[in-house]
Structure formats: C-alpha cells, structure tokens
Amino acid sequence: MGWPIPALARAAGRCGVEIVEQAEVVEIGVERGAVHGVRTRSLDVAAPHVVNAAGTWAGRVARLAGIEVPITQARRQLYVTGPVAALPPSFPLIVDYHHGWYGRREGAGVLVSGVLRPAEGFSLAPDPGETSRALQEAEARIPALKGAKAVRSWVGLYDNTPDNHAILGEAPEVRGLYIAAGFSGHGFMHGPAAGRVVAELIVEGKATALDITLLRPERFREGRLTQEPLTMHGDRG
C-alpha cells in the first residue's frame, strides 16, 4: 500500500477496525431485500451494512448482490522520463482537457500520461506500443521533452460512470448495501469526504457533511445525470 494508505490503516486500527487483505468477496448475502453479510475466500462476515467501495470492480461486486451498478473501466498508462535539465525544477500540473492529457514534474524527470481508453478487462500490464505515442504527445506540449526517454511506466484503471461522477448512497434495491464507487479518476481526492458521508448514512440515516443528492444511485434510471464539463471527461467539442 502506498502513502498515505498505511497512515489511514493505522488510524483505523486504533479505532478498532480490522483490515483483512487478499480476501476476495465471492458472495453478498441478501434476504428479504436487505443485506446480511459477505462471504470471502477466507472468511464469512455477518453485517447489516456493507459498503461496496471496490473501485473498478464495483460493478462486478454489485452483481454478487443481484443488482447492476453502471460502472465501466478505462485504462491509462503513465510514464516517467529520465532527467530533463531544460525545465525548471518545479512547474504546475499541465492539463490538455481537449485531449485528456496531463504532465507534471516527477523528481528530475517528468510524469506524462498516455491515452485514456476503454478497457474490456482488468489487466494492469503495460503496453510497450503506447510509449512512443505518449512521448510524442508530451513533446508537442512541452518541447523541452524532445528526445526524452521513458524510464518507468505503469497502468491504472478508472472506474467510470455514465456521467463521470461518483455513485454515493444506499442501493435502492438492497437495504444496507451502500455504493461508494465510480469516481472516474477522482477517487483518491474525494475519498476522505466520501468515507465521511457514507459513515453518516450508516450511523445517522442521512448525509449531513455534504449534500450528495446529485450522486445518488437512482439518478441513472431516473435520467438525471450530473453534467459538469470541467473534468478530464468533460465536453471536448
């Protein structure tokens, strides 16, 4: 787990939270329209409240409870170049919203993004064929990167929704099952606030820290999608 996840885990442990890793959920128990626990490959957990915060896998996990959550996955490959002396030691994040590209300093090099594309599966294997295109895109926006080589790359998956905004709330079909997923690339930033409002839903029956009405799971079947153009997924026309 990367920073700051260990710090959060330690804080949760001090509050009595038990964290079990490498325990794939294989069943969500539902009876009379309400959740009653989960079964993993290593243990069973009885629980009147279950939070599906499985990110890219949230749609698959939701189906274990017999419901559909409109989350699809997209993959993006990231690259870090070798040292680039022609650039200042520090400069702001550069984003090309029209093409969904971004770049920023990463130590002595520069981190640049590849193309965000739909993914059929969940593979995190880098594709060497994408590297040259990504570096060409970077050079077109930051000419000082001409001739730069990628020294490191990895792949990440986005959990996207039809309107590219998170799903936060109790599943209307199953009482006690809460969805906190579909952040479409913003989950790391929104995670603390999402955790707080979901905790409020469970303990108090409603979210009070923030108004999450626009993010409720029912919005998709109601045709009330949340449109906000200033995202990496916004209108690029």
Per-residue pLDDT tens digits for 111-167: 999 988 889 889 999 888 889 889 999 999 999 999 999 999 999 999 999 998 999
The confidence score (pLDDT) of residue 8 equals: 82
pTM: 0.86
Which CATH number belongs to the domain containing residue 204 in this structure?
3.50.50.60
Residues 84 and 151 in one domain: yes
* Residue ranges in the chain assigned as alpha helix (H): 5-14, 58-63, 131-141, 187-204, 219-222
- What's residue 235's pLDDT? 47
**pLDDT grade for 100, boundaries at 50, 70 and 90:** confident
Q: Do 151 and 170 lie in a common domain?
A: no
CATH number at residue 106: 3.30.9.10
Q: Which pLDDT score, from 0 to 100, does residue 111 have? A: 96
Average pLDDT over residues 80-84: 95
3 state DSSP class of 135: helix
On whether both 111 and 140 belong to a single domain, the answer is yes
Q: Which of 137, 156, 175 is the last residue before a domain boundary?
A: 156
Angstrom distance (rounded) from CA 193 to CA 215: 13
Q: What is the pLDDT of residues 202-234, one digit of tens each?
A: 999 999 999 999 999 999 999 988 877 665 555
pLDDT reading at 13 higher than 50: yes
- 48 closest CA partner among 136, 177, 190: 177
Task: Quote the domain boundaries for residue 107.
Answer: 75-156
Q: Using the 8-state DSSP alphabet, how is residue 96 labeled? A: E
Q: Which of 156, 191, 214 is the last residue of a domain?
A: 156
pLDDT at 44 over 90: yes
Looking at residue 237, its pLDDT comes to 39
In a domain, 233, yes or no: no
152 with 190, same domain: the answer is no
Answer yes or no: do 143 and 108 share one domain. yes
Based on the fold, state whether residues 83 and 114 are members of the same structural domain. Answer: yes
100 and 152 fall within a common domain: yes
Proportion of the chain above pLDDT 90, given as a percent: 70
